[in-house]
Amino acid sequence: MVIYGVAILAASMIFGVAAGDVLGRLIGVEANVGGVGFAMLVLIFVTDHLRRTGRLCPVSEGGIAFWSAMYIPIVVAMTAQQNVVAALSGGPVAIIAGVLTVAACMALVPVIARVGASDDTAPAGAEAARHG
């Protein structure tokens, strides 16, 4: 049933967000630390396990696939409620800080992607990656 897929997805998210809240409290941060990331990992493990044991039928998968496909329209709805006016009216400090940060971080993408890539081939790197 479709609802099985939706239920698995919703349960994964609640579990992940709860884990993020707990982690945030443990390290004393007033924020949810990686809740969405944990939820994604839970979903990956649960669906993988169910599929391998043959308990996730295509109709149930549809309940997850639907929300995955709704992602871009939801993001468009999200962009339509951004505080764009505040972003532009923050003055030159805010705009220059934002622009320079994005530029600097983008420039680092190829550099850091390369650092990790060289480690991939070595077994030690793979070991570190598993714990990192």
Partner 1 sequence: MDELTRLLAANGLLFAFVFVGLVMLVSYRLSAWLTRGRIHGSAIAILIGLVLAYLGGITTGGSKGLADIPLFTGLGLMGGAMLRDFAIVATAFGVDFAEIRRAGLSGALSLIFGVVVSFFVGAVVAFSFGYTDPVSMTTIGAGAATYIVGPVTGTALGASSDVIAISVAAGLVKAVLIMIATPLAARTIGLDSPRTAMVYGGLMGSTSGVAAGLAATDARLVPYGAMTATFYTGLGCLVGPSLMYLVIRAIAG
CB of 56 vs partner 1, minimal distance in Å: 10
Extract the tokens encoding 91. Answer: 């003055």
Phi-psi domain of 54 (left: phi exceeds 0; alpha: psi -120 through 50; beta: other) = left
How far is 110 from 87, CA to CA, in rounded Å?
28
Asked whether the beta carbons of 6 and 63 are under 8 A apart, the reply is yes
3 vs 70, which CB is nearer to partner 1? Answer: 70
Q: Is 10 within 8 Å of 71 (Cβ atoms)?
A: no
- Closest CB 8 distance from partner 1, rounded Å: 9
- Residue placing its CB nearer to partner 1 in the complex, 4 or 64: 64
Residue closer to partner 1 (CB basis): 3 or 89: 89
Residue 17 C-beta: closest distance to partner 1, Å: 8
